[in-house]
Structure 1
Amino acid sequence: MTYQVLIVDDAEINLILFDALIKRMGNSDSKTFSSAPDGLAWAQSHDVDLIIVDYMMPELDGIRFISELRATAGKADVPVLMITANDQKQIRYRALDAGATDFLTKPVDKVEFIARANNMLLLGASRKALANRAEWLASEVRKATAEIVQRERETVIRLSKAAEYRDPETGAHILRMAHYSELIARGLGLSQADQDLLLEASPMHDIGKVGIADNILLKPGRLTPEEFEVMKHHAMFGYEILMGSSSRVLQAGAEIARAHHEKFDGSGYPNGLKGEDIPIFSRIVAVADVFDALTSERPYKKAWSLERAAEHIRESAGIHFDPKCVEALFANWDQVLEIRHRFQDHEKAHSTI
């Protein structure tokens, strides 16, 4: 391996001497600068394994050189050997604070110079190897995690399809609702991690319908009050199916399933939660779910127009829905239309989330 060494000293004789000593080591190439600002600019824009810098220089002394180098992205760990004729401890303390790695005092002993330079190169190489190893391990962890996430995502889709087979709603509804939910989350300023989590967990909002009898779930007309009370149980059924998992996605799905029929004014079910006591994911899914249900055709109803559905959602802000979630949906209307176009009811909705 050939190392790259940078030498910065305003005295030409020192540059010649240090360059000769580096070449004597046999494993390094050197770059020399008599101008500290020029040397710093080169160090900031090139890979370098060791920097040898004088303390007393015009324009930019060694301590300022090191400080500015350390402030440069990616240069925090480059070994720096400071050479100075000044043996005062205060200078060395300041240099250490600035980020110097080691020191030599003029006149430089050639044997000591080579030994220290070589040791610092080996130390730097070891640090790089360790960093590369850490990056490789991190990469392997990311791969393994991606595989786990993919399996988890498949589980979610299959769970959602289990409910879909017993529900007149289509798979395209699940996909549209999930993407509307993600869109609202983004508009609310939720983190990317929360947006991704909501996209993956929201399709399970109605998983509890697998526990509802067919004569109620598949009834083509309006439910009687008694039947509607039975239908309400699907929220807790979904929560009980998903609760207790170690998976963040299933945990989020459980909370969404339980609370997505809560209403902002407290008149919803199953617990009559009000306002911000309703989990944010459930408030988001409530808007996305109802908006898509209104604008989708079902065996028992015609689809509402986008304008009529939007008006209804807006009128229900603060009553049924969180006004901020409503605002976030309609603030991104072009994307709403794009999602609606991408996931059509007549398609077999094999698309992945």
Structure 2
Amino acid sequence: MSNGRFKEKLESDELLEIIFDYAAEITLEHNLDRLLILMANMGRDMTVAERCILWLYDERTDELWAKVAHSMDEVRIPSKAGLAGYVFQTTKPLVIEDAYEDERFRSDVDVKTGYRTKSVMVIPLINKQNKILGVYQVINKLTEEEVFTEQDVKYLSLASSYTAQALEAVLMNIEMEEAQKEIIFKMGEIGEVRSKETGNHVKRVAEYAKLLAIKAGLSEEEADLIRVASPMHDIGKVAIPDAILNKPGRLSKEEYTAIQAHSNIGYDLLKNSNRSILQGAAVIAKQHHERWDGRGYPDGLSGEDIHLYGRIVSVVDVFDALASDRPYKKAWSINRIITHFTKEKGKQFDPVLIDLFLKHLDGFLAIKEQYDDH
């Protein structure tokens, strides 16, 4: 580093080493967050910059968003805004010595973070079909010249054209996963609609389940699996006759036994899938009516013999049932629900999960309000 302040320019062999090292990692990465980090780090290191922001285009909102900006949280801007928006619209690279002398520059991010943007280079990220996916924005050249060069534009454009293919593959996989999740939610709604439930019941239980899973110490990834799997918890109801499912009065012993069968029916529908989401859904379908004290169904499991997924969905499914209007009852007050959960702690429900639920009740009530039936 010159004068103890600047970094040296990269030699050709150093640049190639950076490109090959990152390209090897990028082509093997299937997680979007980690991939964006790698691609942003590659842009920063290749150009000897202080920061690199990789903006991606969101067609649904017509925005550019940066999941990864070094030392910053996610940022979203209109697709026509700022230097990034200009390059996205024109698909032409842009090199600027001092951003504050360019009227297209948006300084609000600097103001928010206390950062000072000076030199900037922005290049389009384009796939093999010549479609623009987003833009690379590298900030503050750290060599003595402090200005990005045409060579920087050339090299980063070349490297980004290779990595765009890996990015597109991951984005396509995410779209497929989202489609699968949507199908699962819709299938879950089928079971609920037949028993006069609303689609929002499925959404609420899913969000409650994810929140409780996180509070119970599960990873974000596993909590999201529970969120996606939980809508299938009552899918077995598709095989229960309407006359029993929607009977307004008390069920006979035979009718109650028929209702209980939905747990095993749901499990049998899902158990043979090799997809982790549907495997989780199978466990939840079978075990969400088990009780901590062993008096539940279908297998009379107790305590930690009941899978954590089943214990989590048991709590949140009952909460939503009590907190919502049903054809046969009005919604309970929150105080009445708290009293019931406190009474059933260690009986119907896992005591640790009940403590966590009550401790973070405000979060569950916020979800209830967000997905209210009215």
The TM-score bracket by the shorter chain reads 0.5 to 0.7
Q: Which moved more, 1:294-303 or 1:128-137?
A: 128-137
Residue by residue, what CA displacement relative to the aligned partner does 1:151-184 show, whole Å, maximum 9, x if unpaired?
2112102211211221122222221111111111
Residue 193 of structure 2 contacts residue 199 of structure 2 at CA under 8 Å; is this kept in 1? no
Deviation at 1:315, TM superposition (A): 1.0
- Listed as ranges, the gaps of 5+ residues in structure 2 are 29-162
| 1:215 corresponds to | 243
Residue 180 of structure 1 contacts residue 329 of structure 1 at CA under 8 Å; is this kept in 2? no
1:49 pairs with one of 1, 5, 10 = 10
Change (3 A) 1:337 1:128: closer
| 1:249 corresponds to | 277
1:282 pairs with one of 310, 314, 323 = 310
Deviation at 1:231, TM superposition (A): 0.5
Amino acid at match of 2:242: D
Amino acid at match of 2:258: V
Change (3 A) 1:122 1:331: closer
Residue by residue, what CA displacement relative to the aligned partner does 1:23-55 show, whole Å, maximum 9, x if unpaired?
xxxxxxxxxxxxxxxxx59899747524xxxxx
**TM-score (norm. length: structure 1):** 0.63
Amino acid at match of 1:49: L
SS class of match (1:325) = helix
**TM-score (norm. length: structure 2):** 0.59
SS class of match (1:251) = helix
Residue 26 of structure 2 contacts residue 166 of structure 2 at CA under 8 Å; is this kept in 1? no
Change (3 A) 1:161 1:44: farther
| 2:371 corresponds to | 343
Change (3 A) 1:195 1:49: same
Residue 232 of structure 2 contacts residue 281 of structure 2 at CA under 8 Å; is this kept in 1? yes
SS class of match (1:165) = helix
| 1:265 corresponds to | 293
Residue 291 of structure 1 contacts residue 310 of structure 1 at CA under 8 Å; is this kept in 2? no
RMSD across aligned C-alpha pairs, in angstroms?
A: 2.4
Identity over aligned pairs, percent: 41
**1:190 is aligned to 2:218:** yes
Change (3 A) 1:145 1:48: farther
Amino acid at match of 2:338: A
SS class of match (2:328) = coil
| 2:346 corresponds to | 318
Change (3 A) 1:46 1:271: farther
Residue 49 of structure 1 contacts residue 124 of structure 1 at CA under 8 Å; is this kept in 2? no
Distance 2:174 2:8 in 1: 32
| 1:115 corresponds to | none
Distance 1:45 1:267 in 2: 71
Counting only pairs closer than 5 Å after superposition, residues 283-302 of structure 1 correspond to structure 2 as 283-302=311-330
Change (3 A) 1:139 1:309: same
Distance 1:207 1:249 in 2: 14
Counting only pairs closer than 5 Å after superposition, residues 126-165 of structure 1 correspond to structure 2 as 126-127=20-21, 135-165=163-193
Distance 2:341 2:362 in 1: 17
| 1:177 corresponds to | 205
| 2:356 corresponds to | 328
Residue 184 of structure 1 contacts residue 329 of structure 1 at CA under 8 Å; is this kept in 2? yes
Amino acid at match of 2:260: K
Amino acid at match of 2:180: E
Change (3 A) 1:212 1:136: same
Amino acid at match of 1:243: K
Change (3 A) 1:290 1:124: closer
Residue by residue, what CA displacement relative to the aligned partner does 1:30-82 show, whole Å, maximum 9, x if unpaired?
xxxxxxxxxx59899747524xxxxxxxxxxxxxxxxxxxxxxxxxxxxxxxx
Distance 2:238 2:27 in 1: 48
Computing the radius of gyration from Cα coordinates, the structure with the larger value is: 1
- Listed as ranges, the gaps of 5+ residues in structure 1 are 1-39, 51-117, 347-353
Distance 1:295 1:185 in 2: 20
SS class of match (2:296) = coil
1:233 pairs with one of 257, 261, 267 = 261
Q: How many residues align?
A: 240
Change (3 A) 1:45 1:301: farther
Amino acid at match of 1:305: S
Change (3 A) 1:275 1:44: farther
Residue 198 of structure 1 contacts residue 252 of structure 1 at CA under 8 Å; is this kept in 2? yes
Residue 210 of structure 2 contacts residue 224 of structure 2 at CA under 8 Å; is this kept in 1? yes
Change (3 A) 1:148 1:122: closer
